Structure 1
Amino acid sequence: MIRRIKYLRRLISKLSSFAVFGIGSIFLASALFPLFHLLSGFSEKRFNVISRRFVSFFFMIFVKYIEITGAMRLNVENRELLKGLKGKVIIANHPSLLDVVVLISLIPNANCIVKGALIQNTFVSAIVRNLYIPNNIPFDEQLERAKKSMEEGNNLVIFPEGTRSKPGEPWFFKKGAARFALYAHADVVPIYFGGNEKIGLRKNDKMLQFHPTERYMYNLKVLPTISVEPYNDIPMSKSAILLNDRMKTVLEEEHQKHRGLL
């Protein structure tokens, strides 16, 4: 009986968190973005700086809300490695729906490659259109926009899998993340998402699902930076494969440690 009560409490917390996120996103886009335009003197660069930092702050408050309500717990190992990051490509495995929110809450100057379909999403459309790079525009344009953003001091958040992992299946990394890093000559910072199974937040899970025995555990580990310098003199067609393999190996090795297989 107690276990069922805990489950229901966490499920209600999860659903209320989605409501808070939706309402907060609409308020941010409809009320605060116009204010930020005024405060920035209608300078796109200043608007982006203010807006990115506020979105990061909003996501941080959102994550804290989920923690306080008992639906999740966030632990970050080597958090100090994220302090002052500029012009880096941030990669991570992608087990759940909240991964990008968690990362942006930790990185105030984050740009991101997002699904183009989110432009049609009522809740986040304005945020995506104003701040992030949709993946349905030509790839050359994505490369240029990402490079320009990193040259301005932002970090690019991207999940090499391109979509959420399927539980129990091997990871498949696309070469896009490596190409962004190589094109911009930007080093790569890998972040591993560990913890328990994110039942209800995984790919193809149902909204009313939740972990049956405990809250969502997000145990993140910031891993050592991968330099792109060794790949500078190698043609992009080959260097992207090599760097992609390196990124996948680093995250898979950490995944094996997490599962106690190494």
Structure 2
Amino acid sequence: MMRKPSLFLYLRATLFYIVFYPVTLVFAAFCLLVGWALPFRPRFKLFTLMNYFTMLWLYLTCGVRYRVEGRENLPSGSEGAYVVVANHSSEWETFFLQTLIRPQSAVLKQELLKIPFFGWALGMLKPIALDRSKRRGALKQLLTQGKERLEEGINVVIFPQGTRVETGKLGKFNKGGAMLAASAQVPVVPLAHNAGLFWPGKSYIKYPGTITVRVGTPVPVADRSVDEIHADSIGWLEAQMRDLKVVDEESV
């Protein structure tokens, strides 16, 4: 989907950022002051209030809405924690998923925790921060810390493409999510979206419209190999990305 940015869209995005950045800075500083005194779950609820504000402000300034299909597929808290694997094309999903998957530990790149205030506050939410230059060590860290989070009842969110992938391209999906789920014996919940059509990666402009988020049926892991778990979860994800027009048919 190729759209020509207009002056009006630039102005709307500017209004979004004029408020978003100062509010993020002030709120992150507040979280740093009080977060240390809170147990993890109340801390997560407090810190992610900013995410709800971001979704609302994005709608008011840029006209970006969203709808969730298959929300009922998310296991309830009484069913235990789970691993979420999702496609990654935008900054939008990093904000939104913390409002949908609660509580959660996000698998992310280590560099994000170095961002003043925002990154420092993010570091208090038990992320699994990987050093991508050390692939073997990163996988061991994912499996060790991921299993610890799951045993604490904290869901783990993974973007198996490893980084943001430009809309229209598929990218390569690693097996870390399937390996973690198999090791911890928890289900994998695949999740697809088309946020990159409305908030393209590294784009200043946000395009008005409705982002679709689809939650798949949990993929069971009992008596199954990592390859089988990976094939089922990523197969569903790729099919939904094609249906949502996130990737070109030629790239699949």
Q: TM-score range by the shorter chain?
A: 0.7 to 0.9
Change (3 A) 1:24 1:195: closer
Deviation of the 1:181 alpha carbon: 1.5
Q: Return closer, same or farther for 1:23/1:170 CA change in 2, 3 Å cut-off.
A: same
**Secondary structure of the structure 1 residue equivalent to 2:122:** helix
1:102 equivalenced with 2:96 (yes/no): yes
Say if 2:189 and 2:219, in contact at 8 Å, map to a contact too.
Answer: yes
Query: Which of 230, 235, 248 is 1:249 aligned to?
Result: 235
Q: CA deviation at 1:53?
A: 1.5
1:217 to 210, 213, 229: 210
User: Which residue does 2:47 correspond to in 1?
Assistant: 55
> Partners of 1:93 and 1:61 in 2: how far apart?
23
Normalization by structure 1: what TM-score? Answer: 0.79
Question: How far apart are 1:75 and its partner, in Å?
Answer: 0.8
Consecutive unaligned residues of structure 1, counting only runs of 5 or more, are 41-45, 232-238
Q: Deviations over 1:103-147 (max 9, x none)?
A: 112223011011111122224211232221111183323322221
Mean Cα displacement is larger for which, 28-37 or 181-190?
A: 28-37
- Equivalent residues of 1:71, 1:216 under 8 A apart: yes
* Structure 2, gaps ≥5 residues long: none
Using the TM superposition, give the Cα deviation of residue 187 of structure 1 relative to its aligned residue in structure 2, in angstroms: 0.7
Q: CA deviation at 1:93?
A: 1.1
For the residue of structure 2 that corresponds to 1:172, the secondary structure is coil
Deviations 1:175-216 (A, max 9, x none): 1122221222221111110367236x32xx443x444xxx14
Where does residue 135 of structure 1 map in the other structure?
130
Secondary structure class of the residue paired with 1:251: helix
- Distance in 1, matches of 2:118 and 2:234, equals 30
Is 2:187 aligned against 1:187?
Answer: yes
Sequence identity percentage = 22
Cα offset, 1:102, TM superposition:
1.0
Residue 68 of structure 2 corresponds to residue 76 of structure 1: yes
Which residue is 1:236 aligned to? none
CA deviations on 1:232-253 (whole Å, 9 max, x unpaired) are xxxxxxx333322222111112
Change (3 A) 1:228 1:19: farther
- Report the alpha carbon displacement of residue 160 of structure 1 after superposing the two structures with TM: 0.8
1:64 corresponding residue in structure 2: 56
TM-score (norm. length: structure 2):
0.81
How far apart are the structure 1 equivalents of 2:27 and 2:228?
41
Shift in alpha-carbon separation, 1:206–1:74, aligned structure 2, 3 A: closer
> Aligned with 1:33: secondary structure?
helix
2:103/2:154 contact within 8 Å kept? yes
Tell whether the 8 Å contact from 1:58 to 1:105 is kept in structure 2 after alignment.
no
Aligned residue number for residue 167 of structure 1: 167
Query: What is the RMSD computed on CA atoms of the aligned residues?
Result: 2.8
Distance 1:18 1:227, change over 3 A: farther
